[in-house]
Structures are given as structure tokens and as C-alpha cells.
Amino acid sequence: MVVKEENGRWKIIRLELDHNHPLYPGNREQLFSGHKYMTEMEKAIIRTLNANNIATRQMISILSYLRGGVTALPYKKKDVANFRTKLNRVISGSDMKQALNYFIEKKNKDPSFFYKFDVDEHLRVKNIFWRDAESLKYYAEFGDCVSFDTTYMTNKYNLPFAPFVGVTGHGHTCFFGCAFICDETIDTFKWVFESFIEAMGGKHPTTIITDQDAAMKAAIEQTFPNTKHRNCLFHIKTKCYNKNLKCFASNEGLPEEFEDVVGNSLTIEEFETLWTQMIADYKLENNKYFNKIAQQEVSTNARIKRNVGPTYSITSFLTEYQRIVDVINVAEDIEDNANKQKTPKEMEFGYSIELQAMEMYNRNILSKFMKELRATTRLSYKELEQQGQYEVWEKHNQIHKRHRLRKYIVITDLTNGREDYSCICGKFNKDGILCSHILKILVETEASKIPDKYIIERWRKKERKMQLKKVASNTGTDDILRFNILSRKAAELTSKGATKEEAMEYLLEEFSRIGKNLDIMLATRNKEIPQETSTADALGPTRERPSFHKEKRETREAKKMESNGGTRKGESKKTTAEED
């Protein structure tokens, strides 16, 4: 069609009704950009699924099921992904204000909650630190060793997320505190560490484990002068792999040799000898990183990376972070209860040290101990010095062998009432559990028990390691709980109602009637119950609740409310955060 404007009017001067291309199949017109649409209900479903970190492809499966098949969807996977990105990028301009309101609300609910903002000369936020009440209690019990990591970029501002992480008595990861930082300079790290000390009442950790960062090291020396600082082996290995992908791929056997040298060397001398040999065998003399890595040493958990991504706003991140913390706390409660209520199965070997471990260790730690105890069956030993020194090695007739067989020296001192055991592998110093080599000697020398000092306090069963503060029930929590209960019930009814037209019409009528009754109920409550009085107190022990099965009574009450000036629709409420 060709049009032309003449004297202020548009005039069609040519029209061609025949198409010059094949027509698109009529059953797929929903894929045209003009036909794409997403209902509000579908958007609400995506919001719910997004809040629970459901993958986009799984969202498409759910939405297509509700629509009756993939071909019925008027949008594509990319459209859902774009909508998710918008959800995670919300409140861009006011994100920091929203984060502040979030912290204020947390502080109002729990006075022991701690947060701190660092701003520049223009009053723009540079760094954020926060710590909740549970973290304080975790730190009081398990804060001797802290891991600090800044390798996560988990928000749309590229602010490094820096968690202070520890390990609980069940071997679970826990958070002692967290920070968002603007850069990785000495001054920034000092601010974070000083905020951490302030949040923890001045208590310094005994040991801190970090990634390899010169600025961080300098800040630790100034802020934690009496704390032992170690680098994380995980980061050293990961960085080496990332920087030498081609090198590892083109040299068969190098990954296994690298893991063995780094992970299993028993002494500094052995490590240096094997490392030099590996460099020569694989001709890595000109590889700068391999020549540098031996002078350095580096963990942190990947839970955050699995649950949040680079499109997240600060407030979206805080919401997801709280969910992760709640999962950790629930896992601790489950293990605490399991320790009380569940007893281990029958002993595998019948050793007295096995029974002792079953009685003393938390379940998860007992599982790790039993792995070491089972490994003793694959070991041989010989006594080098009477009741003093033993040599332990893996039996040579095993099908599955290590990359390089080693002999381990176990030294004992049982003189003058001492009960000292040490192994060159150093597992007890690293993990707090006796290695299979020492257990082999305990078993073969028929020791009746493990010395108490080798069952460390952290891993022991306790009546209750921590009384995590239970947040008092509040209106918001109760509303969510009631909403979930009602949603499930409503879903059951709508599922039945969708099977027949008659059933659907019946449900719609009933929903309309119930909605009117609810409006009357809520209006009556708002009118009769003073704001500072609880519902139960206002109704009293003998007062009957209004019956909403009688239409006449409903009408009378509704008219009464209107004449008395009841609560109007659309009336807004001021929030504490907004007033602040």
C-alpha cells in the first residue's frame, strides 16, 4: 500500500492485495512481536519462581504446562529471561535507600542486629557491613577460625561481596558477617575489619584465612596484629588452573601430578623436590605462574554464587542472603535434634574407640571419623621404635592406588602418663579429626580409647550448642503463613473447578460471595478493635465472631459501617521506613 498526503489528507494511491511471500502458519502468529503478551498472573508466577531461584527453562516448562503446551505460549524463553532481569534490576535509583530501610527494619525487630555504612565526601555509599544476632552467637562459639573472601561479584554494581565465614560443630558453613566493598584497597579492608571487630564486641579471631591479596594482607597486619593469617589453598589451585587451561589440557598427567604434589606432600622438602621435578618433566621452566605459585598459598563456599547473580540489586541480594542464612540455621537445628533423638546404627568393627566416637561426636563428624576408621583396613604398619615411632603405608595389593604411594610416620609418646600421637600428614591439625594412620596404630596397639584432647570441643555433642534467637511471631510472618495455607487450599478448589464450565461458574459466584463477606469482616474488625489492642482481647473470651452465612445480617452491618464512616478503600498507610 502506498499513501500520499494531499491538502492535509492522506490518500491511498496504490494498493496491492496479493502477498509477495508465503503466509506464516496461522497457528504460530503468537510469535510475532505484536502478538506477544504476558498476563499479570503469569508475571506473578514468574516473580514467585524467580524469588525461589527456579531456572528460566524450568519456568518455561511450568508456564507452558499451564497454557496447554509450548506451542500455546505467546512468548519465548528470552522474553521470560528479560522479565527476570528486570525483576532483579528493580529500584536502581533508590537501591541504597531501600537497603538502608531493610537494615532499619531488621534493627527494629532485633536490637542486636548490627549494620554500618561508609560514605564518601559526596555522601555516596562506598561500603556496607552487617551482622545479625545469629552470626554473633555463631562467632562466640566458632569464631576461632574465620575465612574472608572477596572473589564474588554478585550484584549489578560489581561491588565485591566479602563474607566472613566459619564452620559450625556439625561441619556446616555459617556466616559471621558480610560486607559490600567499593574497591580492594588497604583503607577499605581496614574499614571492613574494624567494622567486624566492632560488631563482635572487640573479639579478634585466632586465625583468618583469605585469598591472595597484598592490600588485604597489609590491612590484616594492621587490624589483626595477633591473628594468624593464612592463604587459602583452594584459591591457589583454582587460579593456577584458570591461568593455565591450555597447559593442563596439552600435558597428559599434569593435572594428577599437580594435585598430588600440592595436596599430598608431607614436608616442605618433599613439596619443593617434587615441584621442581614436575616443572622439569613437563618443561614448565618458562611458565611464569608455575614458577611463582610455589611461593604462595588459599576457600570459601559457592553457595552464594549458586543463588545470586550479577543482575541482582543490593536489596534483592539481601533478601536472598537472608534465605540462605535461614537455611543454614534450620540445618543446624535439624542436626541438633537428630543428635538427641537418633542413635547411630550398630558398630561396624566393635572397637572401643568406635563406640567412644559414636557417643562423643556429632553425626556429620562421626561420618568423617568412620571414613578414616574404615581406611585403616587398607593400611599396613611396622614399629620403628618400641612404643615411639611407627611407619604406616597403603597395602600394595590394592587395585585402586594413589597417584604416588607414600609412607607415613606416626610418633607416639606414652611415657609419664602422656598420651601424645602425631602424624606427618597433619590431618588432625587441619581438620580436627584423627587420621587413618594414627587410628591404625590405636587399633593395632589395642588402645581402649582416644585421648580426650583428640576429640576437640567443636565436634562434640552438646545438650544445645547454641540457642539461636527465635524471632517473635509478627504480623508480617503470620500474614505470609496464612497466605500460603490459603493459596494451597484455593489451588485445590480451582483445580477442581477448572474441569467443567458449570463448576467454574459455581466457584466464581462463591468467590464473589466470599469476597464480599471478607470485606465486611475486615471492615468490622477495623471499626471495633482499637489499634493498640490485640484481636483476641478485643473479641473477649465469650464474644461470638460475626457469622457470615446470613445475608441479611451482612447487609445490615455493611450499611452500618457506611453510615459510621468505616475504613475507605484505597486508604494508604505510612511505613516506618518511609518516615525514617
Specify the 3-state DSSP secondary structure of 14: strand
C-alpha cell at 94: 533508590
pLDDT band, very low/low/confident/very high, at 531 (cuts 50, 70, 90): very low
For residue 159, name the pLDDT band (cuts at 50, 70, 90).
Answer: confident
pLDDT score at 268: 75
Q: Which of residues 415, 437, 459 is at a domain's end?
A: 459
- Residue 199's contacts (CB-CB under 8 Å, 6 or more residues apart) are 114, 116, 129, 131, 136, 177
190, amino acid identity: K
Question: Is residue 16, in this structure, part of any structural domain at all?
Answer: yes
What average pLDDT does range 271-300 have in this prediction?
Answer: 69
As a whole number of Å, the end-to-end CA separation of the chain is 61
What average pLDDT does the segment 314-337 reach?
Answer: 84
Residues 63, 74 contacting (CB under 8 angstroms)? no
The residues, any chain, with a CB within 8 Å of residue 506's CB and separated by 6 or more, are: 497
CB 520 within 8 A of CB 513: no
What is the per-residue pLDDT for 333?
86
Mean pLDDT of 103-124: 88
DSSP H or E segment with residue 57: helix 56-67
pLDDT at 552 over 70: no
For residues 325 and 358, state if they share a domain.
no
Domain boundary among 459, 485, 516: 459
Domain end marker among 65, 88, 111: 88
Residue 511 has pLDDT above 80, yes or no: yes
Residues 246 and 171 in one domain: no
How many domains, the chain? 5
Q: 455 is written with which cell numbers?
A: 576429640
**Contact yes or no for 327/243 (Cβ under 8 A):** no
C-alpha distances out from residue 36 to 29, 33, 39, Å? 9, 5, 10
Q: Hey, is 528 helix, strand or coil? A: helix
- Identify the pLDDT of residue 221: 94
- Sign of the dihedral defined by the CA atoms of residues 53, 58, 62, 67, in that order: positive
The region of weakest confidence among 53-57, 141-145, 239-243, 349-353 is 239-243
HSE-CB for 28 with a 13 A CA cutoff:
6
The parent domain of residue 266 ranges over 235-293
Pick the range with the lowest mean pLDDT from 290-294, 449-453, 570-574. Answer: 570-574
Q: Is residue 286 part of a domain?
A: yes
Span 155-164, average pLDDT: 73
Q: Indicate if 347 and 455 belong to the same structural domain.
A: yes
The set of residues, in sequence order, having a beta carbon less than 8 Å from that of 398 and lying 6+ positions away, is 378
Dist. CA 514–CA 490, nearest whole Å: 12
Give yes or no for residue 294 having a pLDDT over 60. no
Q: Is residue 573's pLDDT more than 60?
A: no
What pLDDT does 545 receive? 39
Q: Which cell numbers hold the place of 357?
A: 566416637
Pairing of strands 207-210, 228-231: parallel
140 versus 470: the higher-pLDDT residue is 140
Average pLDDT (110-131) is 89
Which carries the bigger pLDDT value, residue 503 or residue 555? 503
Grid coordinates belonging to 267: 614436608
The mean pLDDT of 131-148, rounded to a whole number, is: 91
Asked if residue 199 lies in contact with residue 136, where contact means CB atoms within 8 angstroms, the answer is yes
Grid coordinates standing for 285?
621452566
pLDDT of 469 above 50: no
* Rg value, the chain, Cα: 33
Least confident window among 105-114, 328-337, 357-366, 524-533:
524-533
List the beta bridge partners of residue 129.
Answer: 116, 179
**How much is the mean pLDDT over the chain?**
77
Evaluate whether residue 468 is within a structural domain: no
More confident site: 111 or 467? 111
| Range with the poorest average pLDDT among 180-184, 248-252, 386-390, 532-536 | 532-536
Q: Extract the runs of DSSP E, i.e. beta strands, from 114-192.
A: 114-119, 125-131, 145-148, 152-153, 160-167, 173-180
Please compute the mean of the pLDDT values over residues 417-441 and round it to a whole number.
Answer: 92
Q: Which stretches does DSSP call E strand in 15-139? A: 114-119, 125-131
Q: Select, from the ranges 192-196, 522-526, 556-560, the one with the highest average predicted confidence (pLDDT).
A: 192-196
Domain shared by 276 and 413, yes or no? no
Q: Does a structural domain hold residue 444?
A: yes
Whether residues 391 and 313 share a domain: the answer is: no
Question: Distance between CA 468 and CA 487 in Å, rounded?
Answer: 30
The mean per-residue pLDDT over the stretch 44-70 comes to 83
Q: Are residues 151 and 116 in the same domain?
A: yes
φ/ψ of 37, rounded to 5, equals -155, 155
Q: Mean per-residue pLDDT for 433-446?
A: 95
Q: Is the pLDDT of residue 231 over 70?
A: yes
| Across 255-284, average pLDDT | 81
What pLDDT does residue 580 have? 38
Q: Which residues pair with 130 in a beta bridge?
A: 115, 178
Same domain, 565 and 502: yes
What percentage of the chain carries pLDDT values higher than 70? Answer: 76
Q: Are 146 and 511 in contact (CB under 8 A)?
A: no
* Most confident region among 30-34, 120-124, 549-553 by mean pLDDT: 120-124
Q: Is residue 486 part of a domain?
A: no
Cα 446 to Cα 450: distance, rounded to the nearest angstrom = 11
Q: Identify the residue with better confidence: 268 or 190.
A: 190
Q: Are residues 352 and 407 in the same domain?
A: yes
Q: How far is it, in rounded angstroms, from Cα 553 to Cα 559? A: 10
Least confident of 315-319, 383-387, 452-456: 315-319
The residue that leads in pLDDT, 511 or 548, is 511
Residue 228 and residue 241 share a domain? no
SS3 helix, strand, coil % of the chain, rounded to 5? 50, 15, 35
- Measured between alpha carbons, how far is 226 from 334 in angstroms, rounded to an integer? 36
pLDDT recorded at residue 403:
66
Residue 8 CB neighbours (<10 A)? 5
Percent of the chain clearing pLDDT 90 (strictly above): 26
Residue 519 lies in a domain: yes
Does one domain contain both 499 and 434? no
Q: Is there a single domain that holds both residue 197 and residue 121?
A: yes
Q: What's residue 570's pLDDT?
A: 42
For residues 306 and 468, the model is more confident at 306
172 lies in the same domain as 283: no
Rounded distance between C-alpha atoms, residue 543 and residue 177, angstroms: 49
User: What is the rounded distance in angstroms from the CA atom of residue 212 to the CA atom of residue 402?
Assistant: 30
Could you tell me the pLDDT band of residue 467, with boundaries at 50, 70 and 90? Answer: very low
pLDDT at 440: 96
Residue 528 inside a domain? The answer is yes
DSSP 551: H
Residues 439 and 353 sit within 8 Å (Cβ to Cβ) = yes
- Asked whether residue 478 is assigned to any structural domain, the reply reads no
CATH label of the domain that carries residue 304: 3.30.420
